[in-house]
Amino acid sequence: MIELSHLTKVYGDIPVVNDVDMTIATGTITVIVGTSGSGKSTLLRMVNRLIEPTEGRVFIEGRDVSHLPAHELRRSIGYAIQNHGLFPHWTVARNIATVPLLLGWDREKVRARVAELMELFQLDHDQFADRYPHELSGGQQQRVGVARAMAARPALLLMDEPFGALDPIIRAKAQADLKAIQRRTGTTILLVTHDMAEAIHLGDRIAVMDGGLLKQYAPAADILARPADAFVDDLIGVVDRPFHYLTLGTVGAAVEPGEADGAPLNADASLYEGLGALLWSGRKAAPVVDAAGRDVGRVSLDSIAERAARPT
Amino acid sequence: MIRDTIRPGTILRVLVLVALIAFLVAPERFAGLLAPLTTNNAPPIYNQGSLVDLTLSHLFTVAISTLAAAVVAVSLAVFVTRPAGREFLALSRAVVNIGQTFPPVAVLALSVPAMGFGEAPTRMALFLYGLLPIFENTLVGLSTLPPAVVEAASAMGMTGRQRLLKVELPLAMPLILEGLRLSAVIGLATATIGSTVAAKGLGEVIIAGLLSNNLAFIVQGGVITGVLAVLISDGFQAVARQAAKKSGTRPQTET
């Protein structure tokens, strides 16, 4: 568990982060979303003390982070940033090995861990281990950056706009991969973004920041259903709200008994994808199959539409 | 892209180097070439000392002063780019600039009474003269590193010292080498005036030529110095290019 208590950072007379209290559960993805200048990156950087707070404390598993030497603290926390910050004079393998080597792991263990991570992030070891960062594509650099952040198996991973420099198609894949990897490793992730869709897609909980203040901190569904104020409302976007809402539920949750024609939908696809498939194929309903391919019923436009409406 | 083909420039440089060595080892064979520059049957080849010895001590003087300048200038640049030394930045810039604006002849004239005749005043002048290019280049190298990379180094848990040695200095290396190149080349040329205060070096040949009105001496002293400067400059550039290529940053333009 990570606890931010009365966290404040003042530059000159201006509070960039203003008295933020937050508790982050272990093993979850928490997304801090806000416009530029909202203080979200500053908040993130105070967790691993790249920025020292003016006031307030950060506790990780009950331990005050200010009691550890900063470099030791940072070796126990993963960190990935927008422009990946890979060391340009080191190979991919050496970059990924940064923190394990700082921690003094023995060579064999480091080599095994690098190979394991490169496989996890779909980077062919033989092809990429000895390449330099400038020889990689943007998506590959980003994956190396995240692999480097996770190399020493940190329990906590901080990510500052990690997908900001990627094009939309690669970004969607990188988000899905991150989510899958997080489910496997159980790493606690604290991620900063300005993109509400990304926040809703990735976050178990979403923290909305504006002007240094924490405006709302709640699961995505609550943020969508009950935005705390006009700013949160704006950030979500009135037009997009029902569609955001549909990305949260699965087709499986909207299944009703009955039959329908045409290609079946997967029960674990999102309602958003289900709606898209129905609209595009011009059907009112489609059969639904589970992961094993068994018929479990059907989903209709009406049942999806019900779930896009504001909850009462 | 790495090309393993030998460039014409490389062949030319090797030929020039071979010619230089041949001349230094057996200068009398080239006497015919230089004879037209002499009058009244004056000797065409410098005959008051071995050209090899003079060249080696010339190079040694330059090497030792450039090395000393590099140690001081790089240390100073590292110091003023750390949080603790930042306030000394303006001061050290001023001090190093004074070193550069002071004419080497004046340094020689002022240091002879204190240090006596010989190599010492020359080394002092070259040292002071060599500081600025190395200092300024190192400063630029260390202060224009990509911010994301420097932040990542801290965020990975490197201590300040690890960050400097593993990330900052290696990435600034192409520019530091460029500073060294400038200092070495300036030093090589400037060292010739050291002979006015009895430092052993190629300046002796030039000065002997001036005193005895022997154009052949002046030409051979000048050409050896010039060729050495060009070769050393090229050598540094090749190493800097290699360093830049490896780091993938600041690719240097081919010259």
**pLDDT tens-digit map of A112-140:** 999 999 998 889 999 999 999 989 998 89
Predicted confidence band at A293 (pLDDT cuts at 50, 70, 90)?
Answer: confident
Yes or no, beta carbons of B246 and A50 under 8 Å apart = no
Check if B114 contacts A (Cβ < 8 Å).
no
Which residue of B1, B156, B161, B168 to mutate against A (max A Cβ within 10 Å)? Answer: B156
Predicted confidence band at A170 (pLDDT cuts at 50, 70, 90)?
Answer: confident
Shortest Cα–Cα distance, A85 to chain B (Å): 4
Yes or no, beta carbons of A87 and B151 under 8 Å apart = no
Least Cα distance to A82 among A207, A219, A193, A180 occurs for A193
Q: How many CA atoms lie within 13 A of A245 on its CB side?
A: 20
For strand A188-193 and strand A156-160, is the pairing parallel, antiparallel, or unpaired? parallel
Q: Considering only CB atoms, which chain A residues are within 8 Å of B153?
A: 85, 87
Q: Where in chain A is the domain with CATH 3.10.580.10?
A: 249-308
Please name every residue paired with A286 in a beta bridge, in sequence order, or none if there are none: A299
Q: Considering only CB atoms, which chain A residues are within 8 Å of B156?
A: 74-75, 79, 98-99, 102, 148
Q: Please tell me whether residue B157 adopts helix, strand or coil conformation.
A: coil
Which of A73, A76, A88 is facing B249, going by the closest CB pair?
A88
Please give the Cα distance from A168 to B18 (Å, whole number): 59
For strand A205-210 and strand A29-34, is the pairing parallel, antiparallel, or unpaired? parallel
With 60 as the cut, is the pLDDT of residue B182 above it?
A: yes
Yes or no, beta carbons of A89 and B170 under 8 Å apart = yes
A-B interface: how many C-beta pairs under 8 angstroms? 69
Q: What is the CATH number of domain A2-237?
A: 3.40.50.300
Mean pLDDT value of segment A301-310? 87
- Per DSSP, helices labelled H in chain A are 40-47, 70-75, 92-96, 98-102, 107-120, 125-128, 138-150, 168-185, 196-202, 220-225, 230-236, 241-248, 271-281, 301-308
- What single-letter amino acid sits at A118? M
| pLDDT > 90 in chain A, percent | 57
Q: What is the DSSP string of B95-129?
A: HHHHHHHS-HHHHHHHHHHHH-SSHHHHHHHHHHH
Predicted confidence band at B1 (pLDDT cuts at 50, 70, 90)?
Answer: very low
Q: Considering only CB atoms, which chain B residues are within 8 Å of A75?
A: 156-157
Least Cα distance to B66 among B154, B149, B131, B163 occurs for B131
With 80 as the cut, is the pLDDT of residue B219 above it?
A: yes
Least Cα distance to B82 among B159, B175, B137, B134 occurs for B159
| Highest mean pLDDT: which range of A254-268, B56-70, B105-119, B197-211 | B56-70
Least Cα distance to B246 among B177, B192, B147 occurs for B177
A-side interface with B, Cβ within 8 Å?
48, 50, 71-76, 79, 81-89, 98-99, 102, 132-135, 148
Name which CATH class applies to A249-308. Answer: alpha beta
Least Cα distance to A142 among A190, A189, A203, A81 occurs for A81
Least Cα distance to A189 among A164, A216, A148, A154 occurs for A154
Please give the Cα distance from A301 to A305 (Å, whole number): 6
Question: What pTM does this model have?
Answer: 0.81
Please give the Cα distance from B14 to A176 (Å, whole number): 57
Shortest Cα–Cα distance, B83 to chain A (Å): 14
Mean pLDDT value of segment B87-109? 83
More confident call, B216 vs B32: B216
**pLDDT tens-digit map of A216-234:** 999 988 888 888 888 888 8
**pLDDT tens-digit map of A66-95:** 998 999 999 999 999 887 789 999 999 999
Q: Has domain B55-247 been given CATH number 1.10.3720.10?
A: yes
Quote the tokens at residue A177.
Answer: 């991969």
Shortest Cα–Cα distance, A51 to chain B (Å): 11
Mean pLDDT value of segment A32-53? 92
Q: Give the per-residue pLDDT at B195.
A: 84
Name the residue in chain A with its Cα closest to that of B171.
A89
Q: Considering only CB atoms, which chain B residues are within 8 Å of A148?
A: 156
Cα A246 versus chain centre, distance: 18
Using the structure block, give the residue that is written with the tokens 């920041």: A209
Check if B172 contacts A (Cβ < 8 Å).
no
The complex's ipTM?
Answer: 0.82
Q: Give the per-residue pLDDT at A159.
A: 95
Instruction: Kindly report the number of other CB atoms within 10 A of residue A9's CB atom.
Output: 22
Yes or no, beta carbons of A74 and B162 under 8 Å apart = no
Q: How far, CA to CA in Å, does A299 sit from each of A246, A248, A273, B108?
A: 14, 16, 12, 94
Mean pLDDT value of segment B229-249? 83
Name the residue in chain A with its Cα closest to that of B174.
A89
Yes or no, beta carbons of A89 and B247 under 8 Å apart = yes
Predicted confidence band at B242 (pLDDT cuts at 50, 70, 90)?
Answer: confident
